[in-house]
Structure 1
Amino acid sequence: MSTEIPVPVTVDPDNGRWSVEGIPMILVPRHMITNNLAAAEERLGHKGSANLIRDAGYRSAQQWCAQQRGFHGLSPDRVVAHYLEQLGHRGWGRFRVEEHTGERIRVALHHSALADRASGNGNGTCYMFAAWLEGAFDFAAAETGRPRRFAFTETSCRSTGAAHCTFHGKPIEQQN
């Protein structure tokens, strides 16, 4: 068992704030996140909860990718790979791009931190990641000079019995 954090954490000696690669961080227990998601679902329903957190998740992924692109000088494709890798280092799960044709993207998520709780409604519990994927892939597309928006959907989730979670993405113009 590893006792070291897999990312370099800097702690400001004056205020105690954490940062990793220049990004401010807060270390919170997983149950705090899952309990907040469960409360939102109880009050707003599955779809309402997903809609509530979608814009914030998208915006956060865009901010993270922009900061890391500048911090590391990464190419657009590499910044997405780095983002997904770093999510794994922070305990969210192991993301792997299984298909990326430009017209279709399939991302597998193994060991999702959100899939340990059952939603009770037969829906997956990892839908929050769809917006994160949209933000990251949209960022990379814009950085290549060929801006394109993607829409991701959680198509299977470990919380509902699947072996792992799967997300499918398509350009928005193909959604109709």
Structure 2
Amino acid sequence: MAKIAPQLPIEVDSETGIWTSDALPMLYVPRHFFVNNHMGIEEVLGAEAYAEILYKAGYKSAWHWCEKEAECHGLEGVAVFEHYMKRLSQRGWGLFKIQDIDLDKGTASVKLEHSAFVYVYGKVGRKVDYMFTGWFAGAMDQILAARGSKIRTVAEQVYGGSEEGHDDGLFTVKPL
């Protein structure tokens, strides 16, 4: 396995210690720390309830991220979605690969390889990547709204790499 330096811009404010990539402040935390916190919350709330909370929060965050990054880089349309998948992949969540996207129809599918969650959970016979689901609909809806489209979407995880018979995850986006 070849190792490479981070491929996204990182700046650290010498006075505050705040990390910034592109137009947004970031946190840099170990994967085990983040996933252990995730697992602890899931244990108390249950996976289904926690997934609902994360969907809404992730949707809102993806909308905000795409809006700010589109402004920062002068991106629009599919280029915003592609940039989002690229940056997610560069930040260690996993490798997000767009399988298809159609803004006119409000549809997309994204393959997820090397999920940070699957690396920690392993094969547990259920989906563990549900934190990402709302991200796809939030990104799609921000892009659609910026184009003046009235279409709004919902995303779902079809399967995950933590389930038997699958090495990767698949997410789909479709109109409400």
TM-score of the aligned structures, taking structure 2 as reference length: 0.90
Q: Which residue of 2 aligns with 1:32?
A: 33
Determine the C-alpha separation between the residues in 1 that align with 2:22 and 2:101: 27
Determine the C-alpha separation between the residues in 2 that align with 1:104 and 1:137: 8
User: Any conservation in 2 of the 1:38–1:119 contact (CA below 8 Å)?
Assistant: no
Trace 1:18-97 onto structure 2 (pairs within 5 A): 18-97=19-98
Matched, 1:135 2:138: yes
Q: Deviations over 1:78-121 (max 9, x none)?
A: 11110110000111111112122425421111111111233886
| Equivalent AA in structure 2 for residue 139 of structure 1 | Q
User: Any conservation in 2 of the 1:106–1:169 contact (CA below 8 Å)?
Assistant: yes
User: Any conservation in 2 of the 1:138–1:147 contact (CA below 8 Å)?
Assistant: no
Determine the C-alpha separation between the residues in 2 that align with 1:40 and 1:15: 29
User: Any conservation in 2 of the 1:68–1:74 contact (CA below 8 Å)?
Assistant: yes
Aligned residues: 172
User: Taking every aligned residue pair, what percent have the same amino acid on both sides?
Assistant: 33
Determine the C-alpha separation between the residues in 1 that align with 2:73 and 2:145: 18
Query: Alignment partner of 2:171: what SS?
Result: strand
Aligned mate of 1:122, from 120, 125, 128: 125
Alignment RMSD, CA only?
Answer: 1.7
- Relative distance call for 1:120 and 1:98 in structure 2 (3 A) is closer
Structure 2: gaps (5+ residues)? none
Query: Alignment partner of 2:97: what SS?
Result: strand
Structure 1: gaps (5+ residues)? none
User: Deviation of residue 37 (structure 1)?
Assistant: 1.7
Determine the C-alpha separation between the residues in 2 that align with 1:44 and 1:121: 18
Determine the C-alpha separation between the residues in 2 that align with 1:103 and 1:64: 19
TM-score of the aligned structures, taking structure 1 as reference length: 0.90
Query: Alignment partner of 2:15: what SS?
Result: coil
